[in-house]
Structure 1
């Protein structure tokens, strides 16, 4: 599968957000597996190490 520049930029953005969230133990990032333009994942805050159950929608492109 080949990616155009826009798709590659989107993948890089999702990967960057995932890596940043992975290093910050106060949030979880959950990528959405839908290939379109728009929301690429959810960031969910953790309180006392536990997920709050309230994801925030976060566009990886902007």
Structure 2
């Protein structure tokens, strides 16, 4: 797959993330290369899929 992106100016105000998955990428800005690799060596019957776990918010 070939993906070509033309970047323009970006301004980010606030970001509110309430949960993440076990494999996540959050990126603001530029990058030259992102390489994704996956391996699965667990028997399917032992795989547990549950709800997202919220990120603890800061107390201040």
TM-score, normalised to structure 2, is 0.22
Answer 1 or 2: which has greater helix percent: 1
Higher relative contact order, structure no. (Cα contacts within 8 Å, ≥ 6 residues apart): 2
Bigger CA radius of gyration: 2
Answer 1 or 2: which has greater strand percent: 1
